[in-house]
Structures are given as C-alpha cells and as structure tokens.
Amino acid sequence: MTNPFFKNTGPHDISYLLKSIDLLNHNFSDEKVKDIKDLHSSQLGEITFFHSKKYEYLAKVTKASFCLTTENLKSILPDTCKPIITSKVLLHTAQITKIFYPDSVTDDFDNSVQDIIKTEYKDKVKFGKNILIGSNVKIGSNCLIGHNSIIEKNVSIGDNCKIGSNVIIRNSLIKNNVHILDGCVIGKKGFGFFPDKNSNFRYPQVGIVIIEENAEIGCGSTIDRGSLSNTIIGKNTYLDNQIHIAHNVKIGENCIIAGQVGFAGSSTLGNNVMIGGQAGISGHLKIGNNVQIGGGSGVIKNIPDNSKVMGYPAKDIKNFIREKNDR
C-alpha cells in the first residue's frame, strides 16, 4: 500500500514516462501505466524497478507490466513484465515516482493546522497547551496529547493512545494503545537522494508509517515514512530513546530495541528481536526471528533466526568472546 494521502496523477502513457526521463531507445505502444510500486506490491498495468540480484525472488513473480532494470538482470523477470533497460535504475525510478506523486518530495510546514480548541477534538481528547491539529486527522477515544505537539495532516490515531509533548506526526497510521513519548518526529520524508549533474535529486517518499497495537516509541526517536512501501513498527514492540528508523524499515512483533540504535533503509526485522544500545543496522538486510544483537554492534549482513551476534562487523557471540579473550 502506497500513501493514500498523496494524489496519484496517473494513468500515464509509458511513452510519455520514458520520454520524460530521456529514455528514448524503447519502442512501446502507448500502453497506460496506472502507478509505480515495488516488486512485491505492483500489479498488472503498473511499473516497478529491479536493481539488485538480492531481490531476484521477488522479480521472478512480479505482476508489474513494466520494470526498470539492467541488461544483466532482465532475464530474471517473467514474460508478462516488459524490461526497460537503464544504467540508472534508482534515479529513473525516483523521477517516474515524482511524476506520479509530485507532492511527495517536500515536507513543507503544514499550514492547515489549527488550535485543537477549534476542532471537533476539543471535547474528545485530553490535551496540554499549544496543540495543533492538521487536516484529514482522525483521533480515537480516550487519547492524551502533551504540550506543544503537532498532529499534522494525514494522520489516524487509534483508541487509548498517549502522545507526549513536543511530538510531530505526519502521514502515519497509529493503531490502538500506542505510547509515543516526548520529542518524537514520525512520518516525515526519508533520507533518499541521488547525485545528478552536480545536484541531488531527492527520492519521493510515497509510503506512510504504521505503528501497530501496544507499541511504545521512546523519547526523541525519529521514524521516516516509506518510499515505495511503508515503514512498520510491529505489535508490542518497544523502542528506547533516540532511535532512528529509516524509510521502508519493517520491525516485527515483540521486539525490544535499546537507545541510540540506528536503522538504515529497507531492512527487515523478524519477531522477538532484541538489540542493545548504539548498534547500527545497514540497509536492505534481513534479521531473523528471535535474534539478539549486542550493544555497539555493526550489522552488515543478514542474520538467520535464533542467532546471537556482537561486534563490528557483527559475528556469532561465541566467536566474538573467543577472539576478545585471545588478544
């Protein structure tokens, strides 16, 4: 599911899309393209992208009609998906995404906000001083919002939620019984861009943040919304203070993550994962179920289920202890 809050300007002719990004060496009929999505989510009549062999398992079964990819990866795609060959897969994906969702690139301040006293929630929510509420906001029953917080446009908050002071939320779906502590920023655009002719082309962030039931987000944490998919925090997962979650990260259920842990984009955690403070998780990795990662570790490769790792680069904890004792 891409962001339901951004307007899709499609459908567009495939020839128009390719001409717009200077890919003129393809000869397709004027087929309509309805949307752009990732390999997993894309459907017939949509365009996707495939830039790394680590996603071969998704590329083989994609339902997209078109795919931006490279010469050496095109043979992996199913016959129903027409390859569009380019040496700049990610840049051209970003440019086409911007055509479909031109409003997704910037996060200017929300001038639709107004004092909560002027909204329908003045008698439905317990709130502190200086609370601002944007357009297209829904807040459930028995919720509390602390001082100086801003619920910007396109936010849904479930029942029995507690939002601390100095919190900013945008483009997010917050389920029931979620606790977001002071100073968090949730749902802003992720850090994705490509150098292009001496300038940085920012990747549109079309996804949202989803925080499932009974999760807790610690003070000063930041959770970026997804690019072409969503950023998800699973049920009953607790984040300590000052944690950064980059775009497209998906954290499973019942996870415990200590302070100052950082996640690069598009990594996935299973259920029941525990991570010690100040660990770093590189992008596009898969961390299995029941994994334990020691504090200060640097994770740069996939970790299978039931593993215990520590160090930089993170390795099996028994090997880490043995090497440390041998010094």
Give percent of the chain with pLDDT exceeding 70: 98
Between 94 and 158, name the one with better pLDDT. 158
Domains of the chain (ranges; CATH) run 12-101 (3.40.1390.10), 171-326 (2.160.10.10)
Contact 291, 310 (CB under 8 A): no
CA–CA dist 130, 121 (Å, integer): 14
pLDDT over threshold 90, residue 104: no
Contact 286, 302 (CB under 8 A): yes
Amino acid in the structure at residue 50 = F
pLDDT over threshold 80, residue 326: no
Kindly tell me the burial class for residue 109, based on how many C-beta atoms sit within 10 Å of its own C-beta (0-12, 13-18, 19 or more).
Answer: exposed
pLDDT over threshold 90, residue 122: yes
Kindly tell me the burial class for residue 165, based on how many C-beta atoms sit within 10 Å of its own C-beta (0-12, 13-18, 19 or more).
Answer: middle
CA–CA dist 162, 75 (Å, integer): 50
Catalytic residue (choose from 12, 92, 244, 247)? 247
> Does the annotation mark 179 as catalytic?
no
CA–CA dist 295, 311 (Å, integer): 8
pLDDT over threshold 80, residue 24: no
The predicted structure's pLDDT at residue 1: 47
Eight-state DSSP code of residue 91: H
CA–CA dist 11, 296 (Å, integer): 47
Kindly tell me the burial class for residue 75, based on how many C-beta atoms sit within 10 Å of its own C-beta (0-12, 13-18, 19 or more).
Answer: exposed
As a whole number, mean pLDDT of residues 94-111 equals 86
As a whole number, mean pLDDT of residues 224-238 equals 95
As a whole number, mean pLDDT of residues 181-190 equals 96
Q: How far is CA 206 from CA 2, 3, 36, in A?
A: 6, 5, 10
Cα-to-chain-centroid distance, residue 225: 4
Between 1 and 308, name the one with better pLDDT. 308
The predicted structure's pLDDT at residue 3: 57
The predicted structure's pLDDT at residue 196: 64
pLDDT over threshold 50, residue 186: yes
Tell me the two tokens of residue 197.
């002719």
Which of 103-112, 181-190, 286-295 has the least mean pLDDT? 103-112
Q: Which H/E stretch holds residue 17?
A: helix 14-20
Contact 65, 44 (CB under 8 A): yes
Residue tagged 């795919």 (tokens):
67
As a whole number, mean pLDDT of residues 139-160 equals 97
Between 281 and 195, name the one with better pLDDT. 281
The predicted structure's pLDDT at residue 109: 80
Contacts 24+ apart (CB under 8 A), 320-326: 320/294
CA–CA dist 278, 273 (Å, integer): 15
Instruction: Write the pLDDT tens digit of every residue in 31-84.
Output: 999 999 999 989 999 999 999 998 999 999 999 999 999 999 999 999 999 999
pLDDT over threshold 80, residue 2: no
Which of 24-28, 123-127, 152-156, 214-218 has the least mean pLDDT? 24-28
